[in-house]
């Protein structure tokens, strides 16, 4: 087992590191008039460390090549949105930056701390970093898939500054009518957070043919509030046919000719972005899942796993951005249609922020066949 952040066991010569900041111009060395303010504290620094002052506070910094890398917590001093992706990678507005991990802490080039940051050399060594105000153009982008009554509409929300996605933002989502938001316990309003790409995905379920209105509110890093509303029509479900209906009574349409196989579960699906989405529940929580038979394991994010109190059955390593991430094995009980599937093996990955995935392992280990009917908008889980 390794830490989610790759640890640099030895950094005896920090000057040997030369890392480029992805999506940003190469960070220049700091040059300006020497700051002599008496309020700047003087402390004894360990070899390889640099004295850095931001808004009167001392921050840890190190030498990397000929440049200064500052601990990532300094982003907060400039109200710069960021998400730590692990292994030294940090998501910022408009792209990712590559830093270094030293003794368990992530350090980033000083030039990416804020859009207009500049360095003022300090008397006695080190730098004070300051920034000028910049103009922002914050907005929300809401997208929704088409849906029929009884199915789920996929909702995608992106927080933007101009054309650039803003990562790690808290948003409030609400909906109207008889609809409910997912993942939740049937709530019509939830709080969520965008990921490192500035995106949040969820679902809206509604058994009624109606038009619902989804409203998203976002308090931006500058303190202003942006609000956007989108109408989402749920079309009437197709008429049911009486013959060969699924035995569990959940199918809205007649089951296709499946020979000697039995329908174990049937549920409406939504097709969006070349993927298949459906509704499942665990306990009193309802969530939108993506059918992903190209992935072997069923994958759950940490937020949903915590809400469901999923057990940690052992740590594993999974591939992530920039290297290896730490995840753990677990199991989840899922109700799909009217059928309950107990103790479905899954992986809980803290770095996964997307829609939960139902993988091929679920079908292989249980001997299930899968039929997705595009004409009916239904998913059938079968067993011979």
Q: Tell me the pLDDT tens digit for each residue of 253-269.
A: 566 667 788 999 999 99
302: DSSP letter:
H
Please give the pLDDT value at position 233: 96
DSSP codes joined into one string, 123-136:
TTS-EEEEE-----
* C-alpha dist (Å) from residue 119 to 60, 81, 111: 15, 20, 9
Q: How many CA atoms lie within 13 A of 368 on its CB side?
A: 19
Residue 207 and residue 31: Cα distance in Å, rounded?
Answer: 63
* Tokens at 60, concatenated: 């840890």
Cα–Cα nearest to 158, from 198, 191, 215, 201: 198
Pairing of strands 189-193, 285-291: unpaired
CB 348 within 8 A of CB 327: yes
Cα–Cα nearest to 108, from 95, 120, 121: 95
Please give the pLDDT value at position 77: 95
Please give the pLDDT value at position 25: 32
Architecture of domain 138-235: Sandwich (2.60)
Please give the pLDDT value at position 322: 54
- Rounded to a whole number of angstroms, the CA Rg of the chain reads 25
β-pair partners for 130:
118
Residue 275 and residue 278: Cα distance in Å, rounded?
Answer: 10
Is the link from the previous residue into 183 a cis peptide, with omega within 30 of 0? yes
All structural domains of the chain with their residue ranges: 14-131, 138-235, 262-383
Torsion of CA 307, 310, 316, 322, to 10 degrees: -10
The CATH superfamily holding the domain 262-383 is Acid Proteases (2.40.70.10)
Q: Which residue has the tokens 């915590």?
A: 306
CB 228 within 8 A of CB 220: no
Q: Which residue has the tokens 């840890």?
A: 60
**Sheet of strand 89-92: strand arrangement:** 82-86, 89-92, 95-98
- Cα 349 → chain centroid: 11
Please give the pLDDT value at position 304: 93
Query: What residues of the chain score a pLDDT lower than 70?
Result: 1-43, 239-257, 320-324
284: DSSP letter:
T
CB 384 within 8 A of CB 261: yes
Cα–Cα nearest to 276, from 163, 202, 372, 137: 372
Helices (H) and strands (E) in the chain, counts: 2, 31
- What average pLDDT does the structure give for the chain? 84
């Amino acid at each position: 087992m390794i830490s989610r952040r790759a640890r640099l066991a030895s950094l005896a010569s920090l000057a040997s590191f030369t890392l480029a900041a992805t999506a940003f111009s190469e960070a220049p060395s700091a040059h300006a008039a020497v700051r002599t303010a008496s309020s700047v504290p003087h402390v004894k620094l360990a070899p390889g460390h640099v004295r850095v002052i931001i808004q009167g506070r001392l921050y840890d910094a190190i030498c990397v090549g000929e440049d200064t890398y500052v601990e990532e917590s300094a982003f907060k001093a400039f109200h710069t949105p960021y998400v730590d992706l692990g292994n030294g990678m940090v998501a910022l507005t408009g792209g990712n930056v590559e830093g270094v991990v030293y003794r368990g802490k992530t350090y980033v080039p000083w030039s990416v701390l804020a859009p207009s940051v500049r360095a003022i050399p300090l008397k006695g060594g080190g730098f004070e970093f300051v920034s000028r105000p910049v103009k922002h153009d914050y907005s929300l982008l809401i997208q929704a898939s088409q849906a029929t009554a009884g199915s789920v509409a996929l909702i995608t929300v992106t927080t933007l500054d101009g054309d650039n996605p803003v990562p790690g933002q808290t948003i409030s989502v609400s909906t109207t009518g008889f609809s409910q938001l997912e993942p939740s316990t049937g709530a019509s309003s939830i709080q969520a957070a965008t990921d490192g790409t500035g995106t949040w995905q969820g679902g809206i379920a509604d058994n009624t043919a109606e038009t619902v209105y989804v409203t998203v509110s976002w308090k931006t890093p500058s303190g202003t509030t942006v609000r956007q509303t989108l109408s989402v029509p749920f079309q009437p479900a197709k008429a049911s046919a009486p013959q060969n209906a699924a035995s569990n009574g959940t199918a809205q349409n007649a089951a296709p000719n499946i020979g000697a196989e039995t329908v174990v579960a049937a549920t409406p699906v939504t097709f969006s972005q070349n993927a298949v989405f459906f509704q499942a529940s665990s306990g009193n929580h309802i969530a939108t899942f993506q059918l992903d038979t190209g992935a072997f394991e069923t994958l759950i994010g940490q937020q949903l796993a915590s809400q469901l109190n999923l057990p940690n059955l052992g740590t594993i390593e999974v591939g992530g951005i920039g290297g290896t991430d730490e995840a753990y094995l677990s199991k989840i009980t899922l109700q799909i249609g009217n059928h309950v599937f107990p103790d479905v093996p899954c992986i809980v990955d803290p770095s996964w922020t997307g829609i939960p995935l139902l993988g091929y392992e679920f079908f292989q280990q249980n001997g299930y066949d899968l039929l997705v009917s595009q004409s009916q908008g239904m998913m059938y889980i079968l067993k011979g």
